[in-house]
């Protein structure tokens, strides 16, 4: 196995996030490889770690002052063994090839877990949406799509949002895609409800994450009702994780952004959450404004450069990291464990450092990796594709019901795979093994391509 990591290190020494994502999967799938020597003979690992295609491109655009700005665009098409690429798009200044290879790699296994015929990829730009006007956002999205549209399509690559790409951005991207391709097709998901979108798509990653947590708790005869929960982030996934937790009777006491976090000891109720949604999705403000409206809450500034985040020091039964990669350090993980945390369910992709993950796996807590717990987002994107093909819109209840069934199915599959390969209760191994076997079997069936 170390030979595979050596290949990555030698080829792309700066890609630390990708290295981390691959390392985590390799640790889990070792017993599968030991039992299936033909996987090694077919060089599946060597093939899995090399994206099928990477495109980088220039994105010039005009800001509101008429200046020309230039950003870098990327598309990493990781693996299409089980279906057309389903690509997550991220706009954030930290975006680079390593981040997108990690996201694309995660996406391959996550998409396989949904049981839908979807490959995996990731794309985006180092463009920073913060502080941009709607007009600037539109011009950027249009120029980004001028290149992206050459590579995407309903049977090749279907793109959806991730950090910094929400419904406003999908609208601008879709408008330009439609104009350039002269086609109204479902090559993007997360569309508006009156132009091809699916009900529950916006909510799906967060709701699905909570459904997964509820399934985990049920294995210990527990429910979310009355449990105190820590949620990080305040974007799409954090908002809808919080929404479903409130609905199921849990008490959410934290939310954050990259500048700091709020702690509300009385709990964030529906009204307070509506305020957060308006603040973040419409006014595009900062989470610290929460305490101006709700003085019972406390705002604490955080420093992403520090090795720990005080958000995770609050006493709670459950933690839902829903912001970004590597947001829970080993120190944070110890804080959670010392406070007797019962469940950690990842809404974000790879939010725990390898040291934090290793600690959670050593302890008798319920711990779900993002590729299983947040798969609801891509699953409902898949359902949006089905509805687009049928030219039909399903009712919210129908989509939600299907989402619940999918999350329950992923939960069961993860537990079964973990048990089969000798690590009962280990969702981390179960998720990696299930996704890996499905993709690798398809690759072997299709020959060396």
Contact residues toward ligand NDP (CB under 6 A) are 161-164, 166, 205, 233-238, 257-259, 304, 322-324, 347-349, 374, 377
How far is C-alpha 106 from the chain's CA centre? 9
Beta bridge partners of 125: 73, 91
In the DSSP assignment, the letter for residue 323 is S
Looking at beta carbons only, is 93 or 424 nearer to ligand NDP? 93
Terminal Cα-to-Cα distance of the chain (whole angstroms): 22
CB contact at 8 A, 70 and 59: yes
Report, in Å, the least distance between residue 431 CB and ligand NDP: 14
Going by C-beta distance under 8 Å and a sequence separation of 6 or more, which residues neighbour residue 378? 86, 88, 107, 110, 111, 114, 116, 118, 160
- Give just the sign of the alpha carbon dihedral 191, 194, 198, 203: positive
Q: How far is the CB of 97 from ligand NDP (least distance, A)?
A: 16
Query: Is the Cβ of residue 15 or residue 257 nearer to ligand NDP in the bound state?
Result: 257
Nearer to ligand NDP, 421 or 427 (CB): 427
The least CB distance from residue 379 to ligand NDP, in Å, is: 10
Position of minimal CB gap to ligand NDP: 235
Q: How far is the CB of 102 from ligand NDP (least distance, A)?
A: 10
Exposure of 398 by Cβ count < 10 A (0-12 exposed, 13-18 middle, 19+ buried)?
Answer: middle
* 32 vs 235 by CB, closer to ligand NDP: 235
Measured at the alpha carbon of residue 81, what is the angle toward residues 75 and 86, in degrees to the nearest 5?
40
**119-125 and 68-79 as β-strands: parallel, antiparallel, unpaired?**
antiparallel
Q: Which is nearer to ligand NDP, 47 or 286 (CB)?
A: 286
Mode of pairing for the β-strands spanning 53-62 and 260-263: unpaired
Q: What are phi and psi of 204, to 5 degrees?
A: -60, -45
User: What contacts 248, CB < 8 A, 6 or more positions away?
Assistant: 210, 214, 223, 224, 225
CB of 17 to ligand NDP, least distance (A): 11
Query: Please, which residue, 95 or 145, has the CB nearer to ligand NDP?
Result: 95
CB of residue 329 to ligand NDP, shortest distance in Å:
12
Q: Pick the closer one to ligand NDP by CB: 20 or 234.
A: 234
Smallest gap, in angstroms, from Cβ of residue 93 to ligand NDP?
A: 9
Cα 103 from chain centroid (whole Å): 8
């Amino acid at each position: 196995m170390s030979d595979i990591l050596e290949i990555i290190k030698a080829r792309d020494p700066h890609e630390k996030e990708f290295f981390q994502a691959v390392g985590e999967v390799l640790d889990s799938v070792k017993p599968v490889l030991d039992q299936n020597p033909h996987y090694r003979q077919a060089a599946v690992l060597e093939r899995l770690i090399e994206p099928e295609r990477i495109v980088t491109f220039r994105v010039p655009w005009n800001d509101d002052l008429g200046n020309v700005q230039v950003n870098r665009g990327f598309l990493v098409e990781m693996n299409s063994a089980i279906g057309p690429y389903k690509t997550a798009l991220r706009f954030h200044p930290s975006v680079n090839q390593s981040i997108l290879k990690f996201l694309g790699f995660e996406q391959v296994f996550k998409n396989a877990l949904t049981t839908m015929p979807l490959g995996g990829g990731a794309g985006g730009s180092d463009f920073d949406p913060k502080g941009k006007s709607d007009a600037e956002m539109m011009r950027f999205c249009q120029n980004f799509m001028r290149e992206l549209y050459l590579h995407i399509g309903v049977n090749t690559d279907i793109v959806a949002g991730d950090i910094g790409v929400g419904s406003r951005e999908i609208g601008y991207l879709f408008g330009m895609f439609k104009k350039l391709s002269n086609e109204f097709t479902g090559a993007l998901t997360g569309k508006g409800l009156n132009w091809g979108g699916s009900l529950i798509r916006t909510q799906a990653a967060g709701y699905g994450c909570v459904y997964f947590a509820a399934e985990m708790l049920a294995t210990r005869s527990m429910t979310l009702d009355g449990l105190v929960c820590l949620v990080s982030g305040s974007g799409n996934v954090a908002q809808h994780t919080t929404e479903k937790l409130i609905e199921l009777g849990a008490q959410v006491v934290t939310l954050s952004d990259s500048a700091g976090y709020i702690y509300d000891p009385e709990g964030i109720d529906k009204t307070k959450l509506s305020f957060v949604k308006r603040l973040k999705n419409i006014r595009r403000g900062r989470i610290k404004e929460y305490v101006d409206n709700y003085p019972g809450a406390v705002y604490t500034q955080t420093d992403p450069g520090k090795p720990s985040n005080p958000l995770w020091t609050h006493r709670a039964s459950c933690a839902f990291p829903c912001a970004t990669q590597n947001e829970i350090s080993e120190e944070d993980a110890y804080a959670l464990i010392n406070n007797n945390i019962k469940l950690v369910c990842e809404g974000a992709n790879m939010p725990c450092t390898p040291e934090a993950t290793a600690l959670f796996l050593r302890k008798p807590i319920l711990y779900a990796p993002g590729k299983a717990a947040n798969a609801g987002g891509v699953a409902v994107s898949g359902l949006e594709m089905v509805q687009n093909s049928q030219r039909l819109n399903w009712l919210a209840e129908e989509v939600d019901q299907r989402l619940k069934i999918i999350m329950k199915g992923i939960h069961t599959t993860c537990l079964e795979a973990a048990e089969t390969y000798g690590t009962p209760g280990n969702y981390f191994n179960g998720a990696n093994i299930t996704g890996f076997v499905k993709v690798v079997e398809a690759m072997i069936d299709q020959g060396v391509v």
